[in-house]
Amino acid sequence: MDDKLFKRIKQLTEIQSTSGNEDNIRQLLTKEMTPLVDKVEYDGLGGIFGTKKSSVEDAPRIMLAAHMDEVGFMVSQIKKNGLFSVVPLGGWNPYVVSAQRFTLQTKQGDYPIISSSVPPHLLRGKSGGASLKVTDILFDAGFVSKEEAESFGVRPGDTIVPDVETIVTANGKRIISKAWDNRYGCTLLLDVLEQLKEVELPNTLIAGANVQEEVGLRGAKVSTTKFKPDLFFAIDCSPANDLDGKEDANGRLDGGFLLRIFDPGMIMLPRMREYIVQTAEDHDIPYQTFISQGGTDAGAAHLANNGVPSAVIGVPGRYIHTHQTMFSIKDYEAAREMILKLVTSLDKATVDTIIYGK
């Protein structure tokens, strides 16, 4: 891993932008993408995509889509004592939320805030957190009253985002950060667009990031309607399940990129799967097939318009949807190589074969 790549990962993962309040990450993506594409456009919800036009007549339209939002919270109520009730933005395990540091984002500025916890001394003789829900956890910015919180500009609807520094592990092979789901996709898209800047493609490439994926794949619904791709590739992070060390674990760090063949929202079409697998094997790109209990933007995209054949090129991350995710740079590099091979090979004949079988 070179310094440039780590600096990009650090910058993108430390940015704080949760679902519905993606301005911070969108501003950076706009700045970085603009010199790399022919045109940058937004959809009505705030997704950003750059188009790299092909000079080939009747070139197919290939869409690469990350999502820019990370999991967080929204203030639902300001209590009389100055603490806040929240609703989750994205899926959270309630047992990892307490006693963590966050940032409260308001119209008047950002403030430090922590999630509450109950000391063990006060739980003796009680059931403890046996039935804990995320909405039971209060957030504390140090305000002494509702009126004081409001005087600092706090209002229901303000967002709360994890505050975490991105670091490299001692062996230099893995990274610990928040929001790899899905700043992985944002990082990869910028890397790929840089490498393709002077490359003539056999397709028109539409590459960018959706909003509000973590709250129901909302951004993908509008972006696929706007840009009308022939094929769609979600670039997203999925949960690793390799803690027990089993070699056949569903999602292993250092096992290569994830080829998601099934989740509750999408079954990958056979010809799409076969083409990706053949391409990976032809170029010795390590991959692992993956079955997930959760969905990605591909679940929304493949049902858009008249139906868009879709796939997910992912990477595994341990402990996603928390403050601390661990991931392997090897898996990232495999995913990047896979996307480069796909984008440079998907001409009209190949796309027609994937869609129509001829």
pTM of the predicted protein model: 0.94
Q: What is the pLDDT of residues 51-64, one digit of tens each?
A: 999 999 999 999 99
- Determine the pLDDT at residue 118: 67
Domain extents in the chain: 3-70+178-356, 72-162
- Determine the pLDDT at residue 133: 87
- Determine the pLDDT at residue 130: 59
Contacts of 161 (CB under 8 A, 6+ apart): 16, 17, 18, 70, 72, 73, 102, 103, 105
Which positions are annotated as active-site residues?
213
Q: What is the pLDDT of residues 265-289, one digit of tens each?
A: 999 999 999 999 999 999 999 999 9
Q: Which residues of the chain have pLDDT under 70?
A: 118-130
- Both structure tokens of 156: 């229901």
- Which of 139, 75, 81, 131 lies closest to 112, judged by CA? 139
81 prior amide bond cis, ω within 30: no
Packing angle of the helix pair 23-33, 3-14 (nearest 10 deg): 150
- Main-chain phi, psi angles of 282, to 5 degrees: -65, -30
Q: Tell me the CATH number for domain 72-162.
A: 2.40.30.40
CA dihedral 219, 220, 223, 224 (to 10 degrees): -160
Q: Tell me the CATH number for domain 3-70+178-356.
A: 3.40.630.10
- Determine the pLDDT at residue 127: 59
Q: Where does the chain have alpha helices with state H?
A: 3-14, 23-33, 146-151, 180-195, 218-227, 270-282, 297-301, 329-345, 348-356
